[in-house]
Amino acid sequence: MIDRAFALLLTAVAVLSVARIVSADEPAKKPASVLDFKVQDIDGKEVNLKDYQGKVLLIVNTASQCGNTPQYEGMETLYEKYKDKGFEVLAFPANEFGKQEPGTNSEIKAFCSSTYHTKFPLFSKIVVKGDGIHPLYKFLTSKETDPKFGGDVTWNFAKFLVNRKGEVIGRFQPGEKPESETVVKAIETALAQSK
C-alpha cells in the first residue's frame, strides 16, 4: 500500500514538473504593434487600440500649460483635414515635464474642448517616462520594441506616427508643429499606403 501511494506521489510530481516546463517554455505574448494595447479614454472607458486597425495614427503626449500647448490647434486641423481618409490623432495627457498637466481628466477634457475645440480622441492622463511608464509608451520608447524610433520622450508634444498596420514609422520632436511640412508629408505618405 505504501509503495502504491509513493508511486502515485511520484507520478503527480512528474506531471506537475512537466506542466511547469511547458508553461515556462511558452513565453507570454509580447506586443508586436501599437494595436496590441488597451488604454482608457478621457472618461475612463477602456479602448482597445485594435479598433484603430487600418488607420494612420499620430500619438502625442500632451499638456495644458506648456509652451507647445497651442499645438492642439494644429492637431485638430490635421484631424479635420484627414479623418475621412483614415487618420486619427490620439492625445495622451502627461505630467512628467515641468508638471505642466496638473489637471484631472475632466479638467483636461473641458480645457481641450473649450479652448481648442478638439474632436480627436483624448485619453486618460498617463505616465510617458520613468517610474510607472504606461506599457504603450514603454513599447513606443524602448529600443528593443522600437529600434528605429525608440528613446525617451524628452518633453510634451512628442509625436509618433503609426501606419495602418500599427507599426511606428516616424517620430517628431516636441517643437515640430503638427502642421509642419515634414509632418504633413509623412502623414500623407502613410495615408497613401494600402490597408
Catalytic residue list: 66
Residue whose cell numbers read 509625436: 159
Residue whose cell numbers read 473641458: 110
CA distance 63 to 1: 72
CA distance 123 to 131: 19
Rounded to 5 degrees, what are φ and ψ at 93?
A: -60, 140
Q: Which residues contact 11 (CB under 8 A, 6 or more apart)?
A: none
Check if the beta carbon of residue 64 is closer than 8 Å to that of residue 97.
Answer: no
